[in-house]
Structure 1
Amino acid sequence: MTDSDSFSERHGLHGGDAEIVTREDAPEEVRAAVLMLGYAAGMGPGALRDIICEVLLKRPDPNNWSPGNIENEVHRLVDEAPWYQIYDIAERIHAKLMRDNSSGTKQADYARRLTQVFREHGIGWQMKEGRIIFRGSEAFSLATRDAVAIMREAGTPTAANEIREALRDISRRPAADVTGAIQHAMASLECVAREIDGSSDTLGQIIKRLTVPPPLDGALHRLWGFASEQGRHIQEGREPSFKEAELVVTVASAVSVYLLRHSARR
């Protein structure tokens, strides 16, 4: 019986999303899930050991040749691995499943079930298209989910590329590039604003000409000031926090989508 045939899958039952409490760690539940889901997809201990040793740059123990001993070695390696390499291993497992499974069902199931584990245990990551990427608040998810596609459809590919870079920076492991995320998010918004305004002015100059109602225009101007200070003119000892970067990416994405949709309606 496959997982899709299970009672919980048939009835759409699963644990609710826990509050995000973990980013820079891979707790026991995650380490176990990365392996167990690999086994569930049909991978054996030997194949998993090859992947894990490749990621960790460790030589497989030549004294372990039976499946049971190899499985013990696999568990030991995963238990001792740095947290960020656990997510590297998950990506390699997905890639292996994708190469070996032309139907696409096994890797899709792996990604879906692993992301569900992340959600149930408050892990701030998700697997999308075979990559472990940042998972933020519900507001962040809603704001960024369709932003790239909407920007491309609106004829602003540079803005789309900038927001993709922002998402890539905030997803970096073991430490997010918060300054880069802020810079790219605001660059994306500036590209959208310039396209709508038909000018090459800075966002700070364009804001007053945009169709953002007050007092939201004032809030947007303050966001621009904050991003200019923290993202472009950062001061020694005042690096922006992760939560501040998440907020800037969220707002920049949401405002960009709003401006493009409002412009299209006009």
Structure 2
Amino acid sequence: MYDCTESIYLSLMSLHEMKWTDPPAHEWFERELNVFFRQRGIGWQMAGGRVEFRGPQPLEAEISAATGMLKATSRPTAARELAESRLALSRRPNPDVTGAIQHALASLECLARDVVGDPRATLGDLIKRNPDLFPKPLDEAMHKLWGYASEFARHLREGRDPDLSEAIFIVGLAASVASFLLEREQPGLSA
């Protein structure tokens, strides 16, 4: 069904390019499809002609803000990894929950390495070696977040798969923590 809606979008876009439609039919289709998805509680949205995961509005806003801040501070790798975590949630027919968690924490680790100036340490080591990176007791929470990602997304065991809600939670946390680190590094950046 989602492939079909993407094909309709592309057809309408081609029609618009060949013969001007006002308003552009493909944009109208995308807007109306998203209204339909929201009204029906469907957790997908169309963006740029692609059907993708639609999380709660605060999550979407936080990921977008953090990705923008990462790009603005010349951290394209961390920005790409955070964007990839969201794309993993959009995998069809089933979201890639372990991929979402892996990418989210890779983004955070990449950023923390850059902030601290230690390009080889793991996030867990960075937290231990840099007690001012996070205020207490949030440093412990971050250490546990890293441990969770290691246990449930990076070093898997049979029968211990995270569910979608856990992946959404981790991706949201990673975006929020990235925003925190960037704002702390450059006060006023998020304004």
- Tell me if both proteins adopt one fold, taking TM over 0.5 as the criterion: yes
Aligned to 2:25: 106
Asked if residue 193 in structure 1 is aligned to residue 112 in structure 2, the reply is: yes
Aligned to 2:140: 218
Aligned to 2:66: 147
1:203 to 123, 132, 151: 123
Aligned to 1:180: 99
Of all paired residues, the percent bearing the same amino acid is: 44
Post-superposition Cα deviations, 1:171-212, rounded to whole Å, max 9, x if no partner, equal 001111111111111000001101100002111121252542
Which whole-Å CA distance do the structure 1 matches of 2:179 and 2:48 have between them?
23
1:137 to 39, 48, 56: 56
Asked if residue 87 in structure 1 is aligned to residue 2 in structure 2, the reply is: yes
Counterpart of 1:133 in 2: which secondary structure?
A: strand
2:169 to 224, 243, 247: 247
One-letter amino acid matched to 1:101: H
Post-superposition Cα deviations, 1:119-166, rounded to whole Å, max 9, x if no partner, equal 111100011111111111233222212222221111111111111211
Aligned to 1:265: 187
Aligned to 1:127: 46
Post-superposition Cα deviations, 1:94-117, rounded to whole Å, max 9, x if no partner, equal 112222214672222211111111
Which whole-Å CA distance do the structure 2 matches of 1:144 and 1:194 have between them?
20
Gaps of 5+ in 2: none
- Higher relative contact order, chain-length normalized (CA < 8 Å, sep 6+): 2
One-letter amino acid matched to 1:153: A
TM-score by length of 1: 0.64
Which whole-Å CA distance do the structure 2 matches of 1:238 and 1:258 have between them?
30
Which whole-Å CA distance do the structure 2 matches of 1:222 and 1:164 have between them?
23
Which whole-Å CA distance do the structure 2 matches of 1:146 and 1:105 have between them?
28
Asked if residue 170 in structure 1 is aligned to residue 89 in structure 2, the reply is: yes
Pair 1:97–1:147, CA change in 2 (3 A): farther
1:157 to 76, 86, 92: 76
Counterpart of 1:146 in 2: which secondary structure?
A: helix
Which whole-Å CA distance do the structure 2 matches of 1:144 and 1:204 have between them?
22
Gaps of 5+ in 1: 1-85
Pair 1:138–1:218, CA change in 2 (3 A): farther
The answer as to whether partners of 1:143 and 1:251 remain within 8 angstroms in 2 is no
The answer as to whether partners of 1:135 and 1:141 remain within 8 angstroms in 2 is yes
Q: How many residue pairs align between the two structures?
A: 181
Post-superposition Cα deviations, 1:51-109, rounded to whole Å, max 9, x if no partner, equal xxxxxxxxxxxxxxxxxxxxxxxxxxxxxxxxxxx111111111122222146722222
Aligned to 1:256: 178
Pair 1:123–1:239, CA change in 2 (3 A): same
CA RMSD of aligned residues (A): 1.7
